[in-house]
Amino acid sequence: MTPESPAAAARDSGLATERTALAWRRTIASLCTATLLLAHQAVVTRSAADAAAVSTAMVALLVVSAIGHRRNRQLRSGRTATPATAIVATVLAVATIAMVIAVTLSGSSLRW
């Protein structure tokens, strides 16, 4: 990878931070949508397993929201290095929601 020229760096000042913040917001919005769909499924089926899936998804959503908020504050203060723990925690939370959705949808018939 070649280093950026000073002109390119000046054009991108602050834009990378904004793109990262928007990516966190999109991730959290997606997780909110998935959690709401799971909640709808739990209300329709009235299943304890579906309710447990919603609880798990809500915890994962809170974890990702907290990480995203912390990361946005770090970026705004000028710290650009991403801690490995934040990446691992986010991946685990998103993977947990994906598995919960897969198990919930495979174990019950969809009723819309």
Give the alpha-carbon dihedral of 97, 102, 104, 110, to 10 degrees. Answer: 120
Each residue's pLDDT tens digit, 14-69: 787 788 888 888 988 988 998 898 889 889 988 888 888 888 888 888 888 888 88
Confidence (pLDDT) at 3: 57
Q: Is the whole-model pTM more than 0.85?
A: no
User: Is there a domain that residue 23 lies in?
Assistant: yes
The answer on pLDDT for 1 being more than 60 is: no
Question: What is the number of residues in the chain?
Answer: 112
pLDDT given for residue 29 in this prediction: 92
Give the mean model confidence (pLDDT) for residues 67-76: 84
What pLDDT score does 33 carry? 92
| Among the listed residues 68, 76, 86, the one whose alpha carbon sits nearest the alpha carbon of residue 29 | 68
**The total number of structural domains that make up the chain:** 1
Res 81: pLDDT:
67
Q: Report, as an integer, the average pLDDT of 85-103.
A: 79
Assigned domain for 112 exists: no
Residue 49 lies in a domain: yes
What are the residues whose beta carbons fall under 8 Å from the beta carbon of 86, sequence distance 6 or more?
67, 70, 71
Percent of the chain topping pLDDT 70? 79
Calculate ∠ Cα 92-70-16, nearest 5°. 95
Residue 96: inside a domain: yes
Domain range for 103 is 6-107
Q: Is residue 1 in a domain?
A: no
